Structures are given as C-alpha cells and as structure tokens.
C-alpha cells in the first residue's frame, strides 16, 4: 500500500474514534464522520439511495461473500460465494496474512463477475469487548466521557487502542435518579484498520464494518428467520453460530442484544476427534463429517457417528454452561428458542440432538423468508453459512 493510502487510512481511523454514532455499523463510511445532529440527518437521507453491496464474512476456514442490496426496506441477494480461507491468513477475527487473503478474494470476485464496489466486512473476535454498563442519565455530549470512565473502572485496557460504540438498551428509574442501561462495544482499532486496508487493496470502497451479532440482530428483526417460525423475533432467543474454530452464542431479548460470548471450539474439534478414531488427516475428515455425519439413530458399530456424537456432546456442554450462566445472570430469563447456523450446523440431525440435550426448541436455519434471493446457486449453497454477511447488508 502507498504511503498516501496508509496516511489516509490512519487519519480516517482517528476520526472514527470520535464518532457520535451509537453502533458500529458505519465505521468506515466517509459520510458518517460527523459532529452534529444536522449532519446525521443529511447522511441518513443520502443512505436511502439504491446501492449494491458486496459483504464479506471472513472466517478461519472459509470466506463467505454476498452480493446484494437493501433498498426501501427490502433485502435482495444476487450472489452467494464461498471460497477457502488461505491457511494462516485469519485467526480469531484478526488478519494475519493480508497478501494471500487479498489474492484469494480478488480471484473469487473476478471469477464470479462481481463488479460491485461498495464493501462491508462483518467480523467477530474474542478481542472485541462487549459489555453492559449502567450510567447516570446525562446529556448526549457527555455520554462518551462517562462511558469511557465506567469502562476504565473494570477493564485493564488502553482505551486509546479501541473504538468505543454504544447502544441504549433501557432507561432505569430509581430512588437515586434516572439511569441508562447501555450495551458498549470496544473494538480494537488495529483490527478495524486492517480490514479497511484490505478493502482498499482490493480496489473496493469501504462502506461499513459490522460485528456478527449486530448483523444477526438486524436479520432476525427484518423478518421470518426460519421456515414456519412466526413473524418477527420476540421474547428471549439465542442464535448460535457454529463455526470451524469458534462458536458464537448471542442472546436477544425482545429484539435487542442482551448477551454475547465466544466459545473457542468448533467444527475443527469434531474433525480432530474423527482423525484420531478413523486414522485419517484432519482435512480429510471434514468431508466425512458433512457428507456422512448423522446424529439420528446411531448404531453401536457406527464409529464415525459415535465419534461425532461424543465431540458434539463436549460442544453442547460448553453451550449449555453459557445458557445457564445467562439465565442466572438475567434473573431466570427463559430462552424460548435456539437458532443454529454456520458450517457445523449442517451435520444431519444436529438440531434434534441439541434440542434433546438442551431441552429447548432448537431450529436449524435453512430458509430466509422475506429475503429475495435470485442467485442460481442457492440449492448448492447452504444458506445457514451466509447469515452474518446477509445481515450486514441491512443498513438501519
């Protein structure tokens, strides 16, 4: 990257840190670096224009790309693309090898005839700090100062290295005065900047940076989330993104984010267990897991599925521990439904098996109602693997 581009990138990042926008959805949009409410209104008007977006969800194992549009409250998808992530290019949401990542994505964009320039990256990482805080009700211009003070009381981090964004969840009235319950995201500037530079190197226009739980929140509130499952998501529901190296558990209460945690285990744990029991390479066992894995009616001599079941049991134990922690923390809030998605959720019978183990209604997301998907390769591409990228296209 040229020195001028680098300077521009770091300069923009500095401005991002002082934004007065209450979510992380528009970190890289030039128009969103604002100082007053008048500017915000103008920006919202501009955002209404029709534009195609290319959205990237870059995981450790694969890169999901979605070309689509959100216009006049309608979400339409043109293409779904998945390619392998170069080995060692991504770890825990951080870009480690930008050059190989850029080459892989550039080749995929060209090969699929993608000419869209406005780009979004949606990410997640254990380094992104998400906390619920309660502060005294103060004037809007004082919010960031008060939030930063609260965060510094219990997090040993240098706030200069983070972008702070917040969402107001509720107003609390008490004897000591009105207070605000906030969800605060502390996003490492280094991670944000690396994604921004990656898009520039691909000759794309960085439009926004999202976080996966925000993308899923928008998608779940946009319309029906799963086949035959009512209208908008209400009550307390959990969305579990079952990836290769991590499982992201996100809980929404009445359409608002209430809890999110990352389990550092995933599909690779199942692959490794299979490689040990079948005496195969870890890479070779992945196709065995997806093509032959079946958690329904396992026979006693079925080594493959017995191994998958044992490995899945360990993952479910971690998930159950988090769900119980949430219930204890939230004064016994009952999780009414659990939606599973991501690559590992493709194992046949996993939803029914998890429902029995967790004693909850578990739904594997296989369909998105109210989303116009015109791409011809939908039948070959499990929709459950693209939810994060699809949701990130929705701009509210």
pLDDT band at 381 (very low <50, low <70, confident <90, very high): low
Q: Is residue 245 located within the same domain as residue 300?
A: yes
Report yes or no on 46 lying in a domain.
yes
- Domain CATH code at residue 158: 3.30.1490
Q: Is residue 259 located within the same domain as residue 206?
A: no
Report yes or no on 372 lying in a domain.
no
Query: What tokens appear for 108 in the block?
Result: 């995929």
Report yes or no on 389 lying in a domain.
no
- Domain CATH code at residue 294: 3.30.420.40
Q: Is residue 286 located within the same domain as residue 351?
A: yes
Report yes or no on 378 lying in a domain.
no
Q: Is residue 249 located within the same domain as residue 120?
A: no
* Portion of the chain with pLDDT greater than 70, in percent: 82
Q: Is residue 213 located within the same domain as residue 258?
A: no
Query: Locate tokens 């008490």: which residue?
Result: 174
The pLDDT assigned to 385 comes to 92
Q: Is residue 12 located within the same domain as residue 24?
A: yes
pTM above 0.75, yes or no: yes
Q: Is residue 30 located within the same domain as residue 92?
A: yes
Report yes or no on 324 lying in a domain.
yes
d(CA 259, CA 82): 29
Q: Is residue 272 located within the same domain as residue 293?
A: yes
Taking 70 as the threshold, does the pLDDT of residue 126 lie above it? yes
pLDDT digits (tens, 9 = 90+) for 298-338: 998 999 999 999 999 999 999 999 999 999 888 778 898 99
Distances (CA, A) of 33 to 120, 195, 381: 17, 18, 37
Query: What tokens appear for 332 in the block?
Result: 């016994």
- Helical ranges in 254-338 per DSSP H: 267-278, 282-292, 303-329
Q: What share of the chain is helix, strand, coil (3-state, %, to 5)?
A: 40, 30, 30
d(CA 35, CA 286): 50
State the total domains in the chain: 3
Task: Tell me which of 12-21, 121-130, 136-145 is least confident.
Answer: 12-21
Taking 60 as the threshold, does the pLDDT of residue 132 lie above it? yes
Nearest to 345 by CA among 285, 387, 394: 387
Report yes or no on 390 lying in a domain.
no
- As a whole number, mean pLDDT of residues 134-144 equals 86
Burial of 283 (0-12, 13-18, 19+ CB in 10 A): exposed
Query: Locate tokens 């107003």: which residue?
Result: 171
Report yes or no on 151 lying in a domain.
yes
Q: Is residue 207 located within the same domain as residue 109?
A: yes
Nearest to 309 by CA among 364, 349, 275, 342: 349
Q: Is residue 44 located within the same domain as residue 62?
A: yes
Q: Is residue 215 located within the same domain as residue 234?
A: no
pLDDT digits (tens, 9 = 90+) for 69-99: 998 888 999 999 999 999 999 999 999 999 9
- As a whole number, mean pLDDT of residues 247-259 equals 88
Query: Locate tokens 């502060």: which residue?
Result: 135
Distances (CA, A) of 220 to 64, 247, 342, 364, 383: 19, 18, 15, 14, 14
Q: Is residue 141 located within the same domain as residue 201?
A: no
Contacts of range 79-85, beta carbons closer than 8 Å, 24 or more positions apart = 79/112, 79/114, 79/375, 79/377, 80/373, 80/375, 80/377, 80/378, 80/381, 80/383, 80/386, 81/108, 81/112, 81/114, 82/381, 82/385, 82/386, 83/107, 83/108, 85/58, 85/59, 85/60, 85/61
DSSP states along 35-91: SSHHHHHHHHHHHTS--EEEEEEE-SSEEEEEEEEEETTEEEEEEEEEEEPPTTSEE
Query: What tokens appear for 206 in the block?
Result: 């960085």
Report yes or no on 388 lying in a domain.
no
Q: H/E element holding 183? A: strand 179-188
Tell me the residue range of the domain where 171 lies. 129-187
Taking 50 as the threshold, does the pLDDT of residue 14 lie above it? no
The last residue of one of the domains, among 138, 169, 187, is 187
- Is residue 120 within 8 Å of 393, Cβ to Cβ? yes
Partners of 154 in beta bridges: none
């Amino acid at each position: 990257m040229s020195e001028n581009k680098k300077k521009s990138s770091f300069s923009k990042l500095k401005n991002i840190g002082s934004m007065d926008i209450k979510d992380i959805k528009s970190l890289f949009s030039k128009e969103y670096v604002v100082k007053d409410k008048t500017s915000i209104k103008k920006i919202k008007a501009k955002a209404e224009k029709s534009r195609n977006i290319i959205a990237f969800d870059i995981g450790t194992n694969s890169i999901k790309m979605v070309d689509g549009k959100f216009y006049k409250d309608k979400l339409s998808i043109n293409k779904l693309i998945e390619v392998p992530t170069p080995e060692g290019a991504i770890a825990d949401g951080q870009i480690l090898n930008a050059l190989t990542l850029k080459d892989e994505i550039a080749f995929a964009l060209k090969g699929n005839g993608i000419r869209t320039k406005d780009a979004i990256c949606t990410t997640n990482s254990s380094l992104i700090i998400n906390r619920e805080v309660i502060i005294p009700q103060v004037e809007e211009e004082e919010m960031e100062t008060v939030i930063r003070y609260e965060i510094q009381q219990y997090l040993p981090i240098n706030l200069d290295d983070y972008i702070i964004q917040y969402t107001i969840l509720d107003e609390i009235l008490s004897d000591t005065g009105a207070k605000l319950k906030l969800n605060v995201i502390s996003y490492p500037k280094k991670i944000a900047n690396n994604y921004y530079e990656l898009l520039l190197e691909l000759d794309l226009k960085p439009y926004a940076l999202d976080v996966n739980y925000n993308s899923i929140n928008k998608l779940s509130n946009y319309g029906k989330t799963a086949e035959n499952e009512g209208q908008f998501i209400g009550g307390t529901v959990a969305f579990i993104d079952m990836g290769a190296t991590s499982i992201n558990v996100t809980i929404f209460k009445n359409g608002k984010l209430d809890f999110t945690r990352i389990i550092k285990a995933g599909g690779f744990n199942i692959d490794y267990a299979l490689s040990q029991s079948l005496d195969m390479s870890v890479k070779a066992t992945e196709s065995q897991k997806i093509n032959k894995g079946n958690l329904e009616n396992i026979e006693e001599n079925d080594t493959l599925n017995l191994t998958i079941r044992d490995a899945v049991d360990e993952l479910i134990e971690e998930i159950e521990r988090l769900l119980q922690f949430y219930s204890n923390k939230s004064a016994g809030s009952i999780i009414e439904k659990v939606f599973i998605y991501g690559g590992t959720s493709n194992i046949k019978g996993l939803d029914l098996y998890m429902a029995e183990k967790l004693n909850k209604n578990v739904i594997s997301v296989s369909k998105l109602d109210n989303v116009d998907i015109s791409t011809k390769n939908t039948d070959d591409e499990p929709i459950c693997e693209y939810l994060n990228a699809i949701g990130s296209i929705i701009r509210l």
